[in-house]
């Protein structure tokens, strides 16, 4: 085990949730901290807190879906601190509804943040980390990408989110394999949390104005998905602080997969058995049929929402 200590951490989505908790741990581990977030006011508050813990902080407002902004984040990081030893591609947004009801702008927003934000982070920071490894045999680096349990299974009424999180898992597994071809000094990891109170269910507040479709109203399925997400996320028992601690422990142990709810892996096993057995996808509500019944009833009902959901 090699403990991640010192060096520089680059953390996106750093103003709240996993990103803020990871920033707190980075400060406690003596790291310089580059904090990036799209929310300027929240970022300033978070950066002030981390500076108060004694860390040297660089705070940069960044929309990770914008390639040029992530490239500028990389340039500022390199100029101020040199190559990072920990990159946490963590920024993400949530959205739900029946998959055919997502608008083009829904797809552009969620894919832009959840998938391309990670891709930009990998593209920008991996080369500078490889250069640092080549220059220093003692250098050790870690890249952690935030996916979701939605990247391991396919819950209904969460289409665009599922698609992006599966892509992040694939990207991360490929990164792990590609790095193993060229270095043993840089390690990839993927974080797959389940329902954790982080504020991701309130993602709409950060949607850029140009990705709002003024002509489109939220559909019944999207309203139902929002209500279910609100309930599931806010009632989560595992904290963001616990998940962030597990991320550091995974880096310390060089463990690729990081799960917040290991018991949920039974659903992953069922999905893999479906594939291996060439059978149709299993009912995701088999263990809790009342949830599926209520969801179907709400989608087919005249009213927008059902209190049971």
Distance, in Å, from the CA atom of 161 to the CA atom of 111, rounded to the nearest integer, reads 8
| Greater pLDDT, 139 or 195 | 139
63 token code pair:
């929309």
Q: What DSSP letter does each residue of 70-105 carry, written as one string?
A: HHHHHHHHHHHH-S-SEEEE-------B-GGG--HH
pLDDT given for residue 198 in this prediction: 79
In sign, the C-alpha dihedral spanning 223, 236, 64, 188 is negative
pLDDT given for residue 309 in this prediction: 46
pLDDT of 306 > 60? The answer is no
Burial of 91 (0-12, 13-18, 19+ CB in 10 A): buried
Q: What is the DSSP letter of 112?
A: I
pTM of the complete model: 0.93
pLDDT of 307 > 60? The answer is no
Confidence grade of residue 302 (pLDDT, cut at 50, 70, 90): low
pLDDT of 304 > 50? The answer is no
pLDDT of 214 > 70? The answer is no
Q: For the segment 258-279, what is each residue's pLDDT rounded down to a tens digit?
A: 999 999 999 999 999 999 999 9
pLDDT of 12 > 60? The answer is yes
pLDDT of 237 > 90? The answer is no
Q: For the segment 287-298, what is each residue's pLDDT rounded down to a tens digit?
A: 889 999 999 999
Q: Whole-number mean pLDDT of the chain?
A: 93
Q: What DSSP letter does each residue of 174-241 carry, written as one string?
A: HHHHHHHHH-SSEEEEEEE--S--SSGGGGGGG--GGG--TTPPPPHHHHHHHHHHHHHHHT-SS-HH
Which positions ≥6 away from 47 have C-beta within 8 Å?
14, 35, 57, 59
Distance, in Å, from the CA atom of 286 to the CA atom of 95, rounded to the nearest integer, reads 24
> What integer is the mean pLDDT of 231-255?
93
pLDDT given for residue 244 in this prediction: 97
> What integer is the mean pLDDT of 16-37?
98
pLDDT given for residue 215 in this prediction: 60
pLDDT of 308 > 60? The answer is no
Question: To which H or E segment does residue 245 belong?
Answer: helix 240-253
Domains of the chain and CATH, by start = 8-219+237-264 (3.40.50.720)
Question: What 3-state class would DSSP assign to 168?
Answer: helix
pLDDT given for residue 235 in this prediction: 81
pLDDT given for residue 213 in this prediction: 76
pLDDT of 176 > 50? The answer is yes
Place of tokens 């970022």: 43
Of the candidates 97, 95, 94, 96, the residue with the CA atom closest to the CA atom of residue 299: 97
pLDDT given for residue 128 in this prediction: 98
Q: For the segment 74-108, what is each residue's pLDDT rounded down to a tens digit?
A: 999 999 999 999 999 999 998 999 999 999 999 99
Confidence grade of residue 55 (pLDDT, cut at 50, 70, 90): very high
pLDDT given for residue 1 in this prediction: 62
pLDDT given for residue 303 in this prediction: 52
pLDDT given for residue 287 in this prediction: 87
């Amino acid at each position: 085990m090699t403990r991640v200590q010192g060096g520089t951490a680059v953390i996106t989505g750093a103003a709240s949730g996993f990103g803020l908790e990871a920033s707190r741990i980075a400060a406690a581990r003596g790291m310089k901290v580059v904090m990036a977030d799209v929310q300027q006011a929240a970022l300033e508050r978070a950066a002030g807190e981390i500076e108060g813990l004694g860390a040297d902080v660089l705070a940069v407002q960044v929309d990770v879906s914008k390639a040029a902004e992530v490239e500028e984040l990389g340039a500022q990081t390199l100029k101020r601190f040199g190559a990072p030893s920990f990159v946490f591609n963590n920024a993400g947004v949530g959205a739900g509804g029946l998959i055919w009801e997502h608008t083009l702008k829904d797809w552009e927003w969620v894919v832009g943040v959840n998938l391309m934000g990670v891709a930009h982070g990998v593209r920008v920071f991996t080369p500078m980390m490889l250069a640092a490894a080549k220059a220093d045999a003692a250098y050790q680096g870690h890249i952690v990408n935030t996916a979701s349990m939605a990247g391991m299974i396919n819950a209904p009424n969460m289409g665009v989110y599922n698609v992006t999180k599966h892509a992040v898992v694939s990207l991360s597994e490929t990164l792990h394999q590609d790095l193993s071809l060229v270095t043993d000094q840089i390690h990839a990891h993927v974080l797959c949390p389940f329902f954790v109170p982080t504020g991701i269910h309130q993602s709409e507040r950060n949607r850029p104005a140009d990705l709002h479709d003024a002509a489109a109203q939220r559909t019944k399925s999207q309203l139902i998905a929002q209500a279910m997400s609100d309930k599931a996320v806010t009632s989560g028992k595992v904290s963001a602080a616990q998940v962030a601690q597990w991320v550091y422990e995974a880096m310390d142990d060089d463990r690729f997969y990081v799960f917040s709810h290991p018991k949920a892996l039974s659903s992953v096993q069922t999905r893999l058995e479906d594939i291996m057995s060439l059978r149709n996808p299993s009912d995701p509500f088999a263990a809790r049929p009342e949830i599926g019944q209520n969801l179907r009833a709400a989608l087919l009902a005249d009213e927008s929402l059902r209190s049971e959901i």
